[in-house]
Chain A
Amino acid sequence: MSQTLSNGLFGAIGITAIAYCLAAIGLNVHFGYTGLLNFGQAGFALVGGYAVAMPVMNWQWSIWATIPVVIMASSVFALLLGIPTLRLRSDYLAIVTIAAAEILRLLVSTPKAVNVTGATDGINSFTNDIQNSIPGFLKGKTVPLWEKNISDYEMWVIMLGWFLVIVFSVAVWSLMRSPWGRVLRSIREDEDAARSLGKNVFVYKMTSLVLGGVIGGFGGAILVIGQRNASPGSFQTQFTFLTYAIVVLGGVGKVKGPIVGAMIFWFMINVSDSLLADWTDGSGFQLPTWVMDSSNFSFFRWILVGSGLALLVIFRPQGIFGDKKEQAFDVR
């Protein structure tokens, strides 16, 4: 049991949770504050991840020098997506973003690009600079988390990641209290009203798309650094949908929503995985094999996530801590 719980805790603070949390902060800017239906957050994360891995691998850049590349690449992707779609009805943005994310994934997967992107196997060994930058008090040590041991590299990435989460959360919090943020929310509530007050809705939406996209790009960057591998498999459409689940779980349009959502989400995933593995391993309490066995229990988490997302949106759309009055989506 303590094994299960420490797995859950590790999930809640671990690299995956951080990466999804950053992606969710970005998505919250799009979806929660501006009402943009971005279904391509996986694409932004992919851009961010490959913006880190490709220069290091192909042109021997220092990994720290790729930070501006992440910002620029995700901004360019946001502009490319926004120009054709932000003037159209919201469901067009949804279709175009999901398609664009898939286009990117297919492009980096193609065997023809194997020398640049590593095709389906992706890019490895681009994280030496991170390894070398581990501070002295961590170096060579493992950090115990209850029954789980975290390596020095993982711990260092976790620290960097949570630093980014805090920076971006504070930035989003203060931006949303500014006049700029109020215009975003007015666009979400009533686009025509915002336009009639003389606001250039298109520009506001575009800046929102860029800001959230850049934050999502950093999510992808943390993910590939944590996994020490940038491959297209990490950025499937599912990435976007999990990010939606996290945003809805934590509360749409809340600054703490993505953080709380990501922690609870990955805690539950890891606990359920751990429990089901225990219940199908052939000793102690066992689930009947016609329900699930050791070969297929790992799919159950996604069944849980899918049905959880559906039930949450139907019965508690404001998420766990949200306020129903502030519940953001579906105002238009």
Chain B
Amino acid sequence: MVTSSFRRALRLLLVTFAFFALFSETAHADEEILQVRVQNTATTGGKKEPVAGVDIVVTDAAGATVGEGLTDEKGVAKIAVPSDGSFTVTIDEATLPEGLGLPESGASRTVNVTAGLGGNANFNLGAATAKADSKLSLLPKTLFNGLRFGLVIAIMSVGLSLIYATTGLSNFAHGETVTIGAVMTAVASGWFTLSSATGGWGGFVQLGAAMVIGVGCATAFSGALELAVWRPMRRRGIGLTSMMIVSIGIAMAVRFIIQMYYGSQPRSYAQFSSQTNINIGPIGVTPRDLTTGIVALVALCSVGFLLMKTRTGKAIRAVSDNPDLASTTGINTERIILTVWLLGGALAGLGGVIFGLDEQVSWNMGTKILLMMFAAITLGGLGRPFGALVGSLAVGMFVQLWAWLFSSYADLKTMGALLAMILVLLFRPQGILGKKERVG
């Protein structure tokens, strides 16, 4: 038993390894890195202060968008461009913090990217000119963004919550399932562009196909972990704390396998292009954001339908209430748990694909969002699937509202969500939807 599960674990590790090694060739194409630095010199008295969270768009000579990125806490955005040559870098004025405006030289500049060396662009921001948009007029858009972000966290964390409910495990490897979904989609999206043009409906179909591959990989990863690791561990009676630490180990190993073969540079999907806003009432939204929002909503509604109306869903709820009682009534608990892992993996992968459209696809995107997911399911009430939905929407709204209210402290917006979670635990430890007797 011991040796066979050891071999299985080893085999799984090797297969994952080989799997990523296989794609390492496609990953290291002849891309160049364009480094954009945004600094504030206007309101700091001559000191250079990095400005985080500024949206940067890179377009090529023909005007087509080749990359997009957000500046990090060092004020730097590294954007991969497909080749060397001349590119136009534009900063999005709407994403600048309050009190700051575009540099005197304007929002865009042309940068030459040299093969092997990449390129650089520095923006020194000026003081804000009278802003066209008042703060209040940005509120509807903020609420919409919060809703969307909440939905994205919700599809990822419903799986995490279902896994917790049925097995009791806080699965730290869930973030890597998210990453695998996005990374495999990004890798697969590169295959399709080899044969035909991107953009338009063709690009849409190509990205859809890549997404199927990415979500498939995430599902397979999640299911394989259940079969190779969690099920044998449960059979040997290993406790939940041990399993939690094992999930941390697996998360770490997989995360760095991805970094090793996917690379440290964040990338966009090959079909990615910048889109113009369409106006729905007071909210300007790109067709892409609208589509992914609808996809997320449909996915969540189907999960809700599955849980409430189907036999499998009833069985899942029974197992999460009381596994022993469920198995005495003839429910195949192990099969239900496997179903939950597969479902959770697929949803996490889908969430990863959408999240990769909002930001770029990077090796540690899942790890970054994992704490938000935990915050969401803790807020909603640990182990309650609909609690995950409520908690996620609360977290999403909170993050966006924080950025809206304290726009000069927007880099601390995730901190706000974590703080809110701790405060809720102080006063209502069972979470928003939790049952009181489950705690303590």
Residues of A within 8 A of B (CB): 37, 84-85, 87-92, 94-96, 98-100, 102-103, 106-107, 109-112, 114, 119-120, 237-238, 241, 244-245, 248, 290-292, 296, 299-300, 302-303, 305-311, 313-315, 317, 329-331
Q: What are 8 A-B pairs with beta-carbon distances under 8 A?
A: A87-B429, A87-B440, A94-B244, A98-B371, A107-B415, A241-B248, A241-B252, A292-B260
A290 pairs with B238, CB closer than 8 A: no
How many angstroms between the C-alpha atoms of A236 and B414 in the bound complex? 15
Does B31 sit at the interface, judged by CB under 8 A?
A: no
Select A314's contact among B9, B13, B419, B439, beta carbons within 8 Å: B9
B245 pairs with A309, CB closer than 8 A: yes
Other contacts beyond A110-B411, A306-B250: 17, CB < 8 A? A90-B241, A95-B170, A95-B421, A96-B421, A98-B374, A102-B415, A107-B415, A110-B73, A290-B25, A299-B260, A300-B260, A303-B257, A309-B246, A310-B245, A311-B6, A329-B241, A330-B238
| With known contacts A84-B425, A99-B371, A102-B418, A290–B24 Cβ distance under 8 A | yes
Residues of B within 8 A of A (CB): 2, 5-6, 9, 13, 21, 24-25, 49-52, 73-75, 170, 229, 233, 238-242, 244-246, 248-257, 259-261, 263, 367, 371, 374-375, 378, 382, 408-409, 411-412, 414-415, 418-419, 421-422, 425-426, 429, 439-440
The interface centre, meaning the residue of B51, B249, B414 with most chain A CB atoms within 10 A of its CB, is B249
Chain B residues, Cβ within 8 Å of A241: 248, 252
Chain B residues, Cβ within 8 Å of A91: 170, 244, 382
Chain A residues, Cβ within 8 Å of B73: 109-111, 119-120
B425 pairs with A306, CB closer than 8 A: no
Chain A residues, Cβ within 8 Å of B250: 306-307, 310
| With known contacts A310-B249, A317-B242, A291–B422 Cβ distance under 8 A | no
Chain B residues, Cβ within 8 Å of A92: 378, 382, 425, 429, 439
Select B421's contact among A89, A99, A111, beta carbons within 8 Å: A99
How many angstroms between the C-alpha atoms of A40 and B158 in the bound complex? 25
A81–chain B nearest beta-carbon distance, Å: 9
How many angstroms between the C-alpha atoms of A302 and B253 in the bound complex? 6
How many angstroms between the C-alpha atoms of A90 and B5 in the bound complex? 29
| Contact residues of B: prevailing secondary structure | helix
B362–chain A nearest beta-carbon distance, Å: 14
A111 pairs with B411, CB closer than 8 A: yes
Chain B residues, Cβ within 8 Å of A248: 245
Chain B residues, Cβ within 8 Å of A103: 415, 418-419
How many angstroms between the C-alpha atoms of A190 and B260 in the bound complex? 44
How many angstroms between the C-alpha atoms of A139 and B240 in the bound complex? 52
| With known contacts A313-B245, A329-B241, A95–B378 Cβ distance under 8 A | yes
Closest to A238 in B: B252
Chain A residues, Cβ within 8 Å of B374: 95, 98-99
Chain A residues, Cβ within 8 Å of B414: 102, 106
A111 pairs with B252, CB closer than 8 A: no
B430–chain A nearest beta-carbon distance, Å: 9
Chain B residues, Cβ within 8 Å of A305: 249, 252-253
B425 pairs with A308, CB closer than 8 A: no
B252 pairs with A306, CB closer than 8 A: yes
How many angstroms between the C-alpha atoms of A103 and B375 in the bound complex? 13
| With known contacts A91-B170, A310-B250, A330–B429 Cβ distance under 8 A | no
B433–chain A nearest beta-carbon distance, Å: 16
Chain B residues, Cβ within 8 Å of A303: 252-253, 256-257, 260
Closest to A115 in B: B47
Chain A residues, Cβ within 8 Å of B9: 310-311, 314
Closest to B47 in A: A114
Closest to B429 in A: A88
